[in-house]
């Protein structure tokens, strides 16, 4: 009997409201691509029945976790979420579990493998583009350029595409095993992938909010890898 791949999604957590929150865009994107999404609570270990892991966007990561003191421009941190996502991301990479990291999720993946991030791209990276858009989340506001011989090259017909942009942090140095998949015109890393895992891809934009063919292909590739993992696991 064929069953849909089960995709665990890491939600946000509010200390003030004592609530878990998750945008329905992530859920709908997984369902549209053929998966069965479930929410992973922050105190849980990585469930053994998962076929894929989605790390979502959100607030800043504690700079102490990547060996730095906080800059004045750093935002609110979430220790519970940081600890959970670092733990489950490391476990997923070790298991070769298909994983897609979005915005903050890409940064978590990179840090887990020893990489670094800019706490504020305006201060530390000298960015020349507007990376926190004032436009609907579904609307792309700057270009990215795909690197040769990457998963995105295989997925998309064009090497240049337009994405939304909602971040003030970004990957700086790459973690072990990661390569750059795409950059923006000002040189910032916009996508990474792990060269040794079946599917471990991070993107700095929010594909779940963009209803384009290219973003659909990204989620479809993620679910295809999850289905293959499910089959191998059985």
> Which entry of 131, 142, 194, 206 is annotated as an active-site residue?
206
- Which pair of structure tokens corresponds to residue 158? 């064009």
Annotated active-site residue in 85, 103, 131, 171: 103
Give catalytic status of residue 85 as yes or no: no
16 labelled catalytic: no
Asked if 103 is an active-site residue, the reply is yes
- Interatomic CA distance for residues 128 and 87, integer angstroms: 34
Q: In whole angstroms, how far apart are CA 109 and each of 2, 51, 59?
A: 30, 17, 15
Q: Which residues, 6 or more positions from 222, have their beta carbon under 8 angstroms from its beta carbon? A: 33, 52, 54, 98, 100, 199, 201
Alpha carbons 214 and 204: distance in angstroms, whole number = 15
Contact 26, 55 (CB under 8 A): no
Q: Which two tokens stand for residue 221?
A: 């590739």
- Distances in whole angstroms, Cα of residue 35 to Cα of each of 201, 221, 224: 17, 11, 9
Helices (H), the chain: 24-32, 79-95, 104-112, 121-124, 151-155, 213-233
Give catalytic residue positions.
103, 206, 208
């Amino acid at each position: 009997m064929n069953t849909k791949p089960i995709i665990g999604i890491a939600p946000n957590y509010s200390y003030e409201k004592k609530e878990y929150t998750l945008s329905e865009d992530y859920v709908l994107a997984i369902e549209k691509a053929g998966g069965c999404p479930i929410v992973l609570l922050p105190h849980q270990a990585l469930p053994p029945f998962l076929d894929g892991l989605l790390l979502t966007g959100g607030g800043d990561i504690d700079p102490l976790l990547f060996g730095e003191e906080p800059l004045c421009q750093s935002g609110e941190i979430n220790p519970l979420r940081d600890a959970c996502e670092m733990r489950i991301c490391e476990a997923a990479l070790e298991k070769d579990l298909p994983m897609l990291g979005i915005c903050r999720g890409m940064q978590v993946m990179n840090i887990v493998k020893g990489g670094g991030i800019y706490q504020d791209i305006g201060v530390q990276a000298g960015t020349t583009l507007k990376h926190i858009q004032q436009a609907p989340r579904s609307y792309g506001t700057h270009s990215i350029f795909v690197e040769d011989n990457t998963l995105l090259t295989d997925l998309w017909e064009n090497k240049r595409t337009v994405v939304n942009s909602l971040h003030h942090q970004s990957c700086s140095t790459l973690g072990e095993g990661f390569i750059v998949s795409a950059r923006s015109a000002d040189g910032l890393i916009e996508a990474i992938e792990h060269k040794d895992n079946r599917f471990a891809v991070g993107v700095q934009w929010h594909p779940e909010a963009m209803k384009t063919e290219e973003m659909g292909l990204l989620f479809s590739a993620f679910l295809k890898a999850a289905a293959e993992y499910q089959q191998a696991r059985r």
